[in-house]
Structure 1
């Protein structure tokens, strides 16, 4: 492509007397400054570019059509708002000349720069001048150095990219946070931007999400619950808190399956800094590729944890047993999805609903391919649960150490006390937010009366705040109920004994118990089963 710069463009030669030699130009002044310069607003460098180029145009006696500015945008990408507006005005025939301080202001990708100088500008009868580089497409003889300067700019950008990546990796290995915005539940330490501290307003929501998942809620169910309660999603919360955060097209972003999953999979909530999860394909492209977990840069103990390592491990274990959809069944948590498999063909057991309303499991291989593949292996969910419970109780009663169970139970009781403190903290946070919303609603109404915002804007913000208020009021009542139940519980010793008895005489399974204790359950013909425990079963 560099060689193409040196080829004389016949269309440009033919335009010499028609366009490039005339004096009545409508000039588009283009100024750009990279974000790495660390300036905000219109920096001094942008101001210098404007002043220099404006004087240059006026000295030549040309007309300034408009000034286009991209402050804080890299020269590698050409998707910049100011530059895109310039291109639109060129196509609309509003511009007959583009002028920049030097060629690197136009861009640092020599292939793209070549496209605009060699093809786009000439085809649209536009003259280009880079003042400090003495480049003028109206004077072909003086442009011999153009391709070399473009390549040098491109090499400079590549070198800068390597240096920046090296600095970032060094910070990652030191456990310093380098993201633009802190993860949901945290905020940047005002004393050190590379250190995370807990955001007390929304950390309770993160803890609650983990507890909901452990208790049996799926990603979509959690998202729906949070949306119904008006809990701000990560994007909406960042947009409310940070002026520089752009929510995109959605005015009031909602919680979704993916946003819930991203939080539940993120080890940052255990006090671990895990970075370098993805990387750009190269310095010219915006596309990224996800890296394998072994390539992440992980540093432990870099900040205060929101979630205990034990709870994070529970969630991770449950995620390995992904739910399988089943026709006819209610969209709720399916106890044996991901755990039950056909003992003959090895396919997973899928749920279906009987006319009686009961749910039973059948071999998915049989369901899809018929008798030629496998047989039905049908078993009622209730019966399968009872058979596993019977085997589990037999195992526990025969080999469990009651004293060790007591110690474990005491740990659980103490953890409940911690949960009570968490509920109290969240209650305080919810109460504070309700007060803030009341103030904002009043301010919103005053802005409407003064004419600061119109009726449509008022209703949009009012409905969003009001919905959040309703959800918070519901959560407030729910938290008060939890705290009342906690306060009415029996004394510690009785609770310990009760937990031990409940363990020895387990009456109900849940997915967490299955994930912790069982690798898989093989369902054989004639309602027989084989349980593969994660620990060795001494009963067998």
Structure 2
């Protein structure tokens, strides 16, 4: 059987301004001059890659020696990728197959036609990438203005048509029955002794279900608790996201505690990171809808989830109430408690010693009972420095003036902008920058002192329930001890015989 011509046609979507499969083939047939041919048609497939059934069948026929020439209406019908096109042309040359574009008059049987073809495919990919960039930029611009960008509507909300700055879009409004569950979820999880599992069980006990009657799961509850769409965005929310490395699209002065937040991936975001936990380079935008969860409650739940993820409790946590908090200064690995049949019973061991790093700080034994007693005494000393703690076993957080907090954030932003100009500044500009930074720093210190005085006046003379917990330490079970330790202690670093405790209070 003699090799024949192959007519290839592709159309991704039926559009009024796109050429149909039939018209493509008519152009290709003209190039055959009446010779025998076989048609290969891919309808509904993109040209960004070669994962197309008819294309694959054509390449199989080429390798089988059935094809002598491939004819297309236009080169972007067969490929829009330089890499894919180059690989395809290598196979064509290997099997002595010519390539012809009927409208662009590229014919690889001639040197000039082959050269022009390679140039054109470069511009074809450039055009495709330019279109993709334009779409991405348009998406980023709209998202940064707070427009609804499609996708799943968060549980608790429904869509309502609206017009923002003359543009037709949609806005979230509460769905009463669903929002009742959202408020309950935040209320329950904000309590110190509540876990995701306990919240789930309480929802099930009250007969609540998710959309379409699906039972609640801890993963779904965690997703809701992390979503800032529900939060009333005030300056504390602003400071939280900024501290996590997010891109703050709106100025701090917009965070007045009324609207919710949209959280977008961000143009420069690391796509390899888990978006639900990492906030670096995420775009944070004030949304047009009203927030429903008070900022202090939202932050309490968000920080609790972050802490639980960083030091997730396993069965090993039952061996000590300091599980997940003791770290080795040498290697960074955690100290875990190991049981033995010796008189000591339990002792801390650097987990880095189990790995190939062979930690140098793991050469001495730390008896668990002795170490726990030492930490307990340090906790009592730390508590003695304070007149109060919260009544519900929480970190010390007191409401302070939002005006002062907003102004401090604005000052820090202005100082950052001034410092960015230092490398290009001349002597006169540097004098202005130094003078302005000094003024801003004085104002910032004054505002911070005012916040401290407000906090002291609001809390003077109060005693916290946690003091009683520590006083009755021997009566507590391991879980209660661990909860108290979580409130008071951020981490404990061990470097040889030096113990450093980083406190949360």
TM-score class normalised by the smaller sequence: 0.5 to 0.7
Considering fraction of residues, name the structure with more helix.
1
TM-score of the pair, normalised by structure 2? 0.53
Q: 295, 301, 309: which is aligned to 2:295? A: 309
| 1:110 and 2:113 correspond | no
Judge conservation of contact 1:188–1:195 (CA < 8 Å) in 2: yes
Q: 151, 156, 181: which is aligned to 2:127? A: 156
Partner of 1:30: 10
Distance in 2 (alpha carbons) for counterparts of 1:138 and 1:294: 53
Q: How does 1:96-495 map to 2 (within 5 A)?
A: 96=67, 98-116=70-88, 118-123=89-94, 126-137=97-108, 142=113, 145-178=116-149, 180-181=151-152, 195-196=171-172, 204=181, 208=185, 265-270=226-231, 271-277=260-266, 279=268, 293=279, 295-305=281-291, 308-318=294-304, 319-320=306-307, 322-323=310-311, 329=315, 335-340=321-326, 348-353=334-339, 362-364=348-350, 373-379=363-369, 399-400=387-388
Distance in 2 (alpha carbons) for counterparts of 1:346 and 1:27: 63
Judge conservation of contact 1:49–1:101 (CA < 8 Å) in 2: no
Distance in 1 (alpha carbons) for counterparts of 2:297 and 2:28: 66
Distance in 1 (alpha carbons) for counterparts of 2:90 and 2:329: 67
Structure with bigger RCO (C-alpha 8 Å, 6+ apart): 1
Judge conservation of contact 1:267–1:273 (CA < 8 Å) in 2: yes
Post-superposition offset of 1:68: 0.5
Q: How does 1:16-55 map to 2 (within 5 A)?
A: 19=3, 24-32=4-12, 42-45=14-17, 48-55=19-26
User: Secondary structure at 2:366's aligned position in 1?
Assistant: coil
TM-score of the pair, normalised by structure 1? 0.51
Distance change (3 Å), C-alpha of 1:87 and 1:297: same
Judge conservation of contact 1:267–1:274 (CA < 8 Å) in 2: yes
Judge conservation of contact 2:159–2:173 (CA < 8 Å) in 1: yes
Distance in 2 (alpha carbons) for counterparts of 1:89 and 1:331: 61
Distance change (3 Å), C-alpha of 1:360 and 1:102: same
Post-superposition offset of 1:66: 4.1
Post-superposition offset of 1:190: 5.5
Judge conservation of contact 1:361–1:380 (CA < 8 Å) in 2: no
Distance in 2 (alpha carbons) for counterparts of 1:525 and 1:90: 66
Total equivalences in the alignment = 379
Judge conservation of contact 2:269–2:281 (CA < 8 Å) in 1: no
| 1:68 and 2:42 correspond | yes
Distance in 2 (alpha carbons) for counterparts of 1:337 and 1:331: 5
Distance change (3 Å), C-alpha of 1:26 and 1:143: closer
Post-superposition offset of 1:290: 8.6
Structure 2 gaps of 5+ residues are 163-167, 232-259, 399-461
